[in-house]
Amino acid sequence: MLNEVRLFPFEDHWWFYAGFTVFVLLLLLLDLGVFHRKAHTVSVKEAAAWSVVWVSLALAFNYGFYRYMLHHFPVDPSLAAIPGFDAARAAKQTALEFLAGYVVEYSLSVDNIFVFVVVLNYFAIPAKYQHRVLFFGIMGALVFRAIFIALGALLLRFEWVVWLFGAFLVVTGGRMMFAPEKEVLPEENAVIKLFRRFVPVTAEFHEQRFFVKLGGVLHATPLFIALLFLEMTDILFAVDSVPAIFALTKEPLVVFTSNIFAILGLRNLYFMLAGAMDLFHMLKYGLGIVLVFVGLKMVILNRLWGGHFPIGISLGVIIGVIAVSVVLSLVFPKAQEGPR
């Protein structure tokens, strides 16, 4: 029953989306305008502290969201009119769906970090400017994720789209586990090539500016080229991650909020793990299994369990698989390549 009920129709909860967006923008302005106003190299200790802050904010929001649902569901006339609707159970399930979506997106973000490392090293972005590039990269990611989530909410009303997304996740998970890793070549990106045809790019940095006027002509700096490539890669990652969360919940509000909170912590995750990516070499298998699982949940498991596979079990499987892959990475470290 709950799987077929729209708990947060946009026409009634547009104010929630708007308020949440304003809240996130205020957090980002506070981050860039106060705590990172001066360009500096972000240490692992600082990144770890900020990671705790962002994760704590996500968990605090989820608890507040849960309390709101406990209050709102019993007095919502459209929900109260549904025979057998259990407000407490619905609130608990939705809060668990947020947590599951957050864990999946946050875990998949580790895969993004590999690309971040390659791109920032490729363009030789100084350590003190990396936070600025990632900050604006996250800003762009928030916009693109909102668009993808809105499209996903519209498309998933059609049964054939559900099957298509589910199959896509299963295939993507298998490819993540077994396909050979491709080299990231920013200069070969079609968007980067097209941009360079119309906008000249400086060979050197101009402090932390993305654009600079030279001889009366506007030039982009390597800082902006790195940012542009990061935005392009995030669009590709969103194709995987957004359907993965829709496999766990049908509520766009839950997808939106959990996705955004996971993205907010991505910068600090980068500064924590940038130098230790090889340490978690088994994580790609864990993430692949998670994508296969949520894909199967979307197209098969939900139907076998009367419309909705238990979210508590889903959350346990997701956390368990990721934890096992991390432990195995530490127990069986990646073999180091010998000198050539």
User: What is the DSSP code (8-state) at residue 209?
Assistant: -
Task: For the chain, give the mean pLDDT.
Answer: 81
Q: Give percent helix, percent strand, percent coil of the chain, each to the nearest 5.
A: 75, 5, 20
Cβ-contact 288, 156 below 8 angstroms: no
pLDDT at 174 over 80: yes
Q: Band the pLDDT of 276: cuts 50, 70, 90.
A: low
Q: What is the mean pLDDT of residues 254-263?
A: 90
Which of 188 and 301 is assigned the larger pLDDT? 301
What does pTM read for this prediction? 0.80
Q: What is the mean pLDDT of residues 246-260?
A: 89
pLDDT at 186 over 80: no
- Which residue matches tokens 């998970």? 173
End-to-end CA distance of the chain: 62
Q: Band the pLDDT of 1: cuts 50, 70, 90.
A: very low
pLDDT over 90 percentage in the chain = 13
Tens of pLDDT, residues 107-133: 877 767 777 777 777 777 887 888 788
Please count the helices (runs of H) and the strands (runs of E) in the chain: 13, 2
Which residues face 212 on adjacent strands? 219
Q: What is the mean pLDDT of residues 162-183?
A: 79
Q: Hey, what amino acid is at 15?
A: W
Which of 9 and 42 is assigned the larger pLDDT? 9
Which of 256 and 155 is assigned the larger pLDDT? 256
| C-alpha to C-alpha distances, 213 to 209, 210, 217, 220, nearest whole angstrom | 11, 11, 5, 9
pLDDT at 205 over 70: yes
| C-alpha to C-alpha distances, 83 to 13, 78, 79, 88, 326, nearest whole angstrom | 23, 11, 9, 15, 45
Please tell me the distance from the alpha carbon of residue 166 to that of residue 237, in angstroms, as a whole number: 16
Tens of pLDDT, residues 25-67: 888 888 766 666 676 666 778 888 888 889 999 999 999 999 9
Most confident of 94-103, 132-141, 186-195, 276-285: 94-103
pLDDT at 323 over 70: yes
Ordered DSSP codes for 30-87 = HIIIIITSS--PPPHHHHHHHHHHHHHHHHHHHHHHHHHHHHHHHH-HHHHTSTT--H
Q: What is the mean pLDDT of residues 16-24?
A: 91
pLDDT of 56: 94
Of residues 190, 225, 2, the one with CA closest to residue 93: 2
Please tell me the distance from the alpha carbon of residue 297 to that of residue 292, in angstroms, as a whole number: 9
Tokens of 245: 């969360």
- Of the CA atoms within 13 Å of residue 148, those in its CB half-sphere come to 23
Tens of pLDDT, residues 212-241: 888 888 998 888 888 888 887 777 777 777
pLDDT of 2: 46
Tokens of 103: 């864990």
